[in-house]
Structure 1
Amino acid sequence: MGVQVSDVLRLNVMVEAFVHTGNDSLSEKQIEWISVIEVPVENFVRKHEFVLTTGMGCSEDPALFRSFVEDVIQSGATALTVATGRYVSNIPQDVLSLAQSHDFTLIEVPWKTRFSDVIHDILQLINQNNELKRQKAEDLRQTLTNSVLNGSSLEDLMEILYEAIGIPVAISDDEKNVRANCDFDFNVIDALNDHSDIPVDKLDQPDVPLDEHPLYHHLNQYNVNGKRCYELTIFSNNKKQGYLLFMPDTSKELNWFTMHALEHGLTACALYFLTENAVEMTEIRLKDNFVLQLAKDDTPLDAKSLSKGELLGYDLSLPYACLVGDFQVKEDDDPSWNDAQDQSGRSSLHSLNYYVQKEITHASQQLGRKTMSSFDAGEVIIFLEIEESGYQETVNHFLDMVERRLHDQLAHVYFAWGIGLHNQGLQSFYESYHEARTALDIHTEEHGFGERTFFDETKVNRLLMNVAGNKPLINMVQETVDPLIEYDRVRQTDLIHTFMTYQKYKGNVSQTARALNLHRQSLLYRLRNIENLTGLTLVDADDSFLLELSVRLWLLKQFK
Structure 2
Amino acid sequence: MFFYLQDFLTKKSPQKVRLLTAPQDFSTLVILSVSTQNIRELPIQDFVPAGSLILSAAMGEAEEEPLHRQFFKEASAAGAAAVFVKFKDTDYHLSAESVACADALGLPVFELPWDYRFADIQQEVLNCIQSARTRFTTDLQSSLLRLYFDAKTLQDAVDLVSRMLEVPCCITLPDGTVLAKSADYTQPQENEFSLDISLNDVTMGCFRCQDAGSIPEALLPELSQTLCFPLSLWFHRQSVVNLTKASLKNDFVWDLATQNYVSYDEMIYNGSLFKFDLQRPYTCLLCKAVSGPGSQPDLSVWQRDVIRLNLHETKIISELKSQLHLSIMFYSHFPNYIFYLENPDKGDSHIRRFIEKAEQYFFSDLTDLHLCWGISESGLSSGNFSELYNHASLALHYAVHSKTGQRIYTYEDTRQARIISLLSEDATLKSEAFDLMGQLSSYGDSSNIQLFETLVTYIDNNFNVSKTAKKLYIHRQSLLYRLSKIEELTGMSLKSSSDLFLLSVYARIFSGY
TM-score in terms of structure 2 length: 0.70
Q: Which residue number corresponds to residue 517 of structure 1?
A: 473
Q: Distance in 2 between matches of 1:443 and 1:132?
A: 65
Is residue 85–residue 111 contact of structure 2 (8 Å, CA) maintained in 1?
A: yes
Q: Distance in 2 between matches of 1:325 and 1:5?
A: 67
Q: Which residue number corresponds to residue 286 of structure 2?
A: 324
Moved more, 319-328 or 175-184: 319-328
Is residue 414–residue 449 contact of structure 1 (8 Å, CA) maintained in 2?
A: no
* Percent of aligned pairs with the same amino acid: 19
Q: Which residue number corresponds to residue 371 of structure 1?
A: 328
Q: Distance in 1 between matches of 2:133 and 2:458?
A: 83
1:146-176 C-alpha deviation (Å, 9 max, x unpaired): 3345554332211122333443222333333
Is residue 72–residue 107 contact of structure 2 (8 Å, CA) maintained in 1?
A: no
Q: Distance in 2 between matches of 1:34 and 1:489?
A: 80
Q: Distance in 2 between matches of 1:11 and 1:330?
A: 72
- Which sections of structure 1, spanning at least 5 residues, go unmatched? 193-221, 223-229, 332-337
Q: Distance in 1 between matches of 2:74 and 2:91?
A: 21
Matched, 1:245 2:201: no
The alpha-carbon deviation at position 21 of structure 1 amounts to: 2.0
Matched, 1:78 2:78: no
Q: Distance in 2 between matches of 1:253 and 1:483?
A: 77
The alpha-carbon deviation at position 521 of structure 1 amounts to: 1.5
1:108-167 C-alpha deviation (Å, 9 max, x unpaired): 79x9xx989xx99xx99x97x998886565343222123345554332211122333443
Superposition pairs of residues 285-324 of structure 1, within 5 angstroms: 287=249, 291=253, 295=257, 297=258, 299-300=260-261, 302=263, 314-324=276-286
Q: Distance in 2 between matches of 1:531 and 1:486?
A: 15
- Which sections of structure 2, spanning at least 5 residues, go unmatched? none
Q: Which residue number corresponds to residue 99 of structure 2?
A: 96
Partner of residue 532 from structure 1, selected from 474, 482, 488: 488
The alignment of Structure 1 onto Structure 2 pairs a total of residues equal to: 492
1:184 aligned counterpart, secondary structure: coil
The alpha-carbon deviation at position 385 of structure 1 amounts to: 1.9
Q: Which residue number corresponds to residue 399 of structure 1?
A: 352
Is residue 283–residue 341 contact of structure 2 (8 Å, CA) maintained in 1?
A: yes
Q: Distance in 1 between matches of 2:444 and 2:307?
A: 35
Q: Which residue number corresponds to residue 335 of structure 1?
A: none
Letter of the aligned partner of 2:146 in structure 1?
N
Partner of residue 375 from structure 2, selected from 402, 415, 419: 419
The alpha-carbon deviation at position 371 of structure 1 amounts to: 1.8
Q: Distance in 1 between matches of 2:500 and 2:33?
A: 99
Q: Which residue number corresponds to residue 487 of structure 1?
A: 443
Is residue 349–residue 378 contact of structure 1 (8 Å, CA) maintained in 2?
A: no
Q: Which residue number corresponds to residue 105 of structure 1?
A: 108
CA spacing shift, 1:233–1:348, aligned 2, 3 Å: same
The alpha-carbon deviation at position 435 of structure 1 amounts to: 1.6
The alpha-carbon deviation at position 180 of structure 1 amounts to: 1.9
Matched, 1:87 2:90: yes
Partner of residue 427 from structure 2, selected from 463, 468, 471: 471
CA spacing shift, 1:532–1:161, aligned 2, 3 Å: same
Q: Which residue number corresponds to residue 158 of structure 1?
A: 158
2:284 aligned counterpart, secondary structure: strand
Q: Distance in 2 between matches of 1:103 and 1:315?
A: 72
Is residue 433–residue 509 contact of structure 2 (8 Å, CA) maintained in 1?
A: yes
2:299 aligned counterpart, secondary structure: coil
2:91 aligned counterpart, secondary structure: coil
CA spacing shift, 1:484–1:72, aligned 2, 3 Å: same
Q: Distance in 2 between matches of 1:34 and 1:454?
A: 75
CA spacing shift, 1:21–1:376, aligned 2, 3 Å: closer
Matched, 1:543 2:499: yes
Letter of the aligned partner of 1:324 in structure 2?
L
Q: Distance in 1 between matches of 2:433 and 2:56?
A: 106
Matched, 1:459 2:415: yes
Q: Which residue number corresponds to residue 174 of structure 1?
A: 174
Letter of the aligned partner of 2:330 in structure 1?
S
Q: CA RMSD in A?
A: 5.5
